[in-house]
Amino acid sequence: MIAGTPHTTDEKAERVRADFPLLATRTSKGKPLVYLDSAATSQKPRSVIDTVSSYYERYNANIHRGVYEIAERATEAYEAARKRVAAFFNAASTDEIVFTRNATESINLVCYTWGFENLHAGDAILLTRLEHHSNIVPWQLLAAKTGAELRFLELDGQGRVVLDDLERKLQGVKLVALTHVSNTLGTIVPLEQIVPAAHAAGAVVLADGAQAAPHLRVDVRALDVDFYAASGHKMLAPTGIGALFGKRALLEAMPPFLAGGDMIRRVTFERTTYNELPWKFEAGTSNISGAIGLGAAVDYLQTLDMTWVREHEVALTSYALERLAAVPHLTLYGPKQAQERGGVAAFTMGDVHPHDLASILDAEGVCVRAGHHCTMPLHELLGLTATARASFYVYNTFADVDALIEALEKAARIFKL
Amino acid sequence: MDELFYREYILEHYRSPHNYGHLENPDISVEDDNPLCGDRIRVDLKVEDGRIADVRFEGKGCAISQASASMLTDAVKGMKLEDMLRLGKDEIMENLGAETLAAARIKCATLGLKVLKAAAMRALERAVEAEGQRP
Ligand SMILES: Cc1ncc(COP(=O)(O)O)c(C=O)c1O
């Protein structure tokens, strides 16, 4: 592709961009905002913002308890959002979708209920070297408490998961917990190969979909994953709402996570019987507006069409990879082919520290993340302490990539590379 | 932040830091890091009569943290420990010739000072301990 020639998906992205009020604002220096940090959190479309304010303005009430009209309306909207999320992930039933705060909480829920119930000394947990701290630290705690062992699938030179020794590594494994898409290298992990092998070895599979759910068509039944964790805020929804998909049989057998109101059926001073799925895992008053906002977000994504979302991401990422590769002194990390990665590009440039790079880019209105992106072990493996990371989403255009490149060239001039 | 911050002398200090390395027999050696950036700085001090007789630092990280530490080591040589402990963010910014810095980056600029102050505190503690042990 020739630099500057927009792909056909870009015209739609220009229109999509207009749905996001924040993207029309300018920085304090009057620069247009070039938001390239959606892997940290996405911007929110007008429809999500309006849905959330409409709940607060028109039917704010607690759910699952009031008999009056607005309480019923709130309950209906909350449960309708669950239905939308279940459909988005193609779950068999709404009972298999638990609302949480974020992907981190979804993973911890599985760790502290299924994990502590099922893992014992001598068992193994298999992760990959790509994992975000959220999908490492809970398992380290579990391993330390139970005496279970942590194992890792290694990476090749492009940051792709090596599967040659998968069967050997799976021996004695009770749980495979792995990211679907890496937030640092962008690597798409081939769940369709790993899940059947894991099941054949008798393991349960949890996929961390924080970076995948916003970008790929995720079908939990086709993938046959046992648990799938997602964060709303990375997929156009408000912060503080996330989801956990779990297969019904597993969720039913699991003890509750947090205990309190809403997750009960009947309480006496001596004992409690728990509520049915999925409410058994939703103790206390939920993030009602967040859940309703997440419903609006998946509606919006489905209107865009997840096929287009992915197509645009591949077009934009391959353009970005091509332009970044041509910047002198710039080193790119992760898979070379855009088809093998999500819309994430981590890089370093000469001896410019990523934080200095991000500061110079910020002065140009270009927002990128600098640091270890909550993957310190992966950075250590790459021999790095930090990288700069640009990440793309539905509202980014080829012009945003051009702005990034221009700002990088400016940084190179300032640092006299 | 103002990209002008990255002036020539800042880059010079970043690429060729002053007082870089170890001291042979330091009286005090202190290391600290800034987890946000992964910046890390170690300082060696020689103290004589309550003054900083010599100083070396070693570290890695962003240009702001490393240049700031380099300039600071120049500034504190010969300074009384008590005076050094009085230095603050404003003096660091003045030293760097920067008016503004994004809040998240101020920690980078002041990391060297933080480590130096910790070293000075330790030197003063030792002086007090030595006093107490005198017959
Ligand atoms: C791959 C991955 N997993 C988990 C998380 C954690 O997401 P949250 O902070 O929303 O729980 C993130 C967010 O950065 C991520 O990128």
Taking contacts as CB-CB distances below 8 angstroms, the residues of chain B near A360 are 3, 6
Q: How far apart are CA A325 and CA A310, in angstroms?
A: 22
Looking at A244, A374, A404, A405, which residue is catalytic?
A374
Determine contact, residues A355/B105, Cβ cutoff 8 Å: yes
B37:A363 CB<8 A: no
Residues spanned by the domain of A30: 8-45+305-414
**Tens digits of per-residue pLDDT, B73-107?**
999 999 999 999 999 988 888 888 877 777 888 88
Q: Under an 8 A CB cutoff, do A356 and B38 touch? A: no
Residue A177 Cα to ligand 1 middle (Å): 14
Q: Is residue A2 part of a domain?
A: no
Whether residue A162 sits in one domain with residue A31: no
Q: Is residue A1 part of a domain?
A: no
Rg (CA), chain A: 22
- The CATH number assigned to the domain holding A399 equals 3.90.1150.10
Ligand 1: list residues with CB < 6 Å: A 102-104, 132, 134-135, 179, 183, 208, 210-211, 231, 374
Q: Is B59 on the interface with A (CB under 8 A)?
A: no
The secondary structure of A313-364 as a DSSP string is: HHHHHHHHHHHHHTSTTEEEES-SSGGGB-SEEEEEETTB-HHHHHHHHHHT
Our mutation pick for probing the ligand 1 site, out of A101, A104, A235, A287, counting the most ligand atoms within 8 A of Cβ, is A104
Beta strands at B39-48 and B51-60: parallel, antiparallel or unpaired? antiparallel
How far is A6 from A402, CA to CA, in rounded Å?
11
Residue B4 pLDDT: 63
Can you tell me the ipTM of this complex? 0.88
Whether residues A167 and A272 fall in one domain: yes
CA–CA distance, A278 with A174 (Å, rounded to integer): 24
**Last residue within a domain, chosen from A303, A334, A367:** A303
Higher pLDDT, B35 or A13: A13
Side by side, the strands of the sheet bearing A330-333 are: A330-333, A344-349, A387-391, A369-371
Query: Are A355 and B1 within 8 A, CB to CB?
Result: no
CA of A28: which chain B residue's CA is closest?
B1
**Count of domains in chain A?**
2
Q: Are residues A317 and A382 in the same domain?
A: yes
Smallest Cβ–Cβ distance between B36 and the set A353, A356, A371 belongs to A371
Mean pLDDT of B2-6: 66
Which residue, A271, A303, A335, sits at the end of a domain? A303
Among left, alpha and beta (phi > 0; psi -120 to 50; other), residue B19 is left
Question: In the prediction, which pLDDT does B38 show?
Answer: 77
Q: Are residues A237 and A350 in the same domain?
A: no
Q: Would you write out chain A's pLDDT as a tens digit for each of its 417 residues?
A: 444 455 788 999 999 999 999 999 999 989 999 999 999 999 999 999 999 999 999 999 999 887 899 999 999 999 999 999 999 999 999 999 999 999 999 999 999 999 999 999 999 999 999 999 999 999 999 999 999 999 999 999 999 999 999 999 999 999 999 999 999 999 999 999 999 999 999 999 999 999 999 999 999 999 999 999 999 999 999 999 999 999 999 999 999 999 888 888 888 888 888 889 999 999 999 999 999 999 999 999 999 999 999 999 999 999 999 999 999 999 999 999 999 999 999 999 999 999 999 999 999 999 999 999 999 999 999 999 899 999 999 999 999 999 999 999 999 999 999
Cβ neighbour number for residue B102 with a 10 Å cutoff: 16
Rounded to 10°, the helix B63-76/B103-133 angle is 40
**Best of B9, B34, B62 to mutate (most A CBs within 10 Å, chain A):** B62
| Whole-angstrom Cα Rg for chain B | 15
**Same domain, yes or no: A174 and A122:** yes
Helices (H), B1-135: 8-15, 63-76, 81-85, 89-96, 103-133
Can you read off the two tokens belonging to residue A393?
A: 């989403």
In this predicted structure, what is the pLDDT of residue B95?
83
Same domain, A25 and A168: no
CA A343 distance to own-chain centroid = 12
CATH number for the domain harbouring residue A198: 3.40.640.10
Distance CA A124, CA A220 (A): 24
Spatial separation of the C-alpha atoms in residues A117 and A403, rounded to whole Å = 51
According to the model, what pLDDT value does residue A3 have? 46
Cβ of residue B20 closer than 8 Å to a chain A Cβ:
no
A232, A290 Cβ separation under 8 angstroms:
yes
Instruction: Say whether both A348 and A274 belong to one domain.
Output: no
Nearest to A371 among B5, B6, B37 (CB): B37
pLDDT of residue A1: 43
The shortest CB-CB distance from A415 to any of B5, B11, B61 is to B11
Residue B1 confidence class, pLDDT cut points 50, 70, 90: very low
Residues A248 and A184 in one domain: yes
- Identify any residues that bridge with B109 across adjacent strands, giving them in sequence order: none
Same domain, A179 and A233: yes
Interface membership of A415 toward B (CB under 8 Å): yes
The position carrying tokens 């890091």 is B33
Cα A112 to Cα A96, A116, A271, A362: the distances in Å are: 18, 5, 21, 40
Contacts of A410 in chain B (CB under 8 A): 3
A193 within a domain of the structure (yes/no): yes
The answer as to whether A103 is a domain residue is: yes
Asked if A374 is an active-site residue, the reply is yes
- Residue, of A270 and B57, whose pLDDT is higher: B57
